[in-house]
């Protein structure tokens, strides 16, 4: 199910309509899944997708390792009483 122009465009799309649309998504997903099961079709992607190439997978792995190393060196969930910048690791003084 698609809406013309997205959620923010057009007339009459106020907060209550957006909320109703958003809350109806799980039911729409269930209906979509049931229709795919009944018709024997499914929404799949081809094996030629750009994100599945070896170079993209290698790059994704490198990016994930870089992010992991960044977060390990600047633990955002450290349990101390200081205010600290996640990006630089600088601790604020009182």
Residue ranges in the chain whose pLDDT is less than 50: 1
pLDDT at 2: 53
What sign does the dihedral 4-10-12-13 (CA atoms) show?
Answer: positive
Q: Token pair 């979509």 is at which residue?
A: 32
pLDDT reported for residue 1: 46
pTM: 0.35
List the one residue out of 83, 75, 72 whose CA is nearest residue 91: 83
Distance of alpha carbon 66 from alpha carbon 24, whole angstroms: 38
Q: What pLDDT is stored for residue 65 in this prediction? A: 95
CA dist 36 → 26, 31, 44, 59 (Å)? 15, 9, 11, 34
């Amino acid at each position: 199910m698609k809406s013309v122009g997205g959620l923010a465009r057009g007339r009459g799309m106020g907060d209550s309509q957006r909320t109703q649309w958003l809350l109806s998504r799980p039911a729409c997903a269930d209906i979509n899944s049931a229709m795919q099961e009944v018709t024997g079709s499914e929404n799949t992607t081809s094996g030629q997708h750009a994100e599945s190439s070896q170079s993209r997978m290698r790059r994704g792995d490198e990016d994930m390792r870089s992010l992991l190393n960044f977060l390990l060196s600047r633990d955002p969930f450290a349990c101390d009483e200081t205010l600290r910048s996640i990006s630089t690791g600088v601790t604020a003084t009182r």
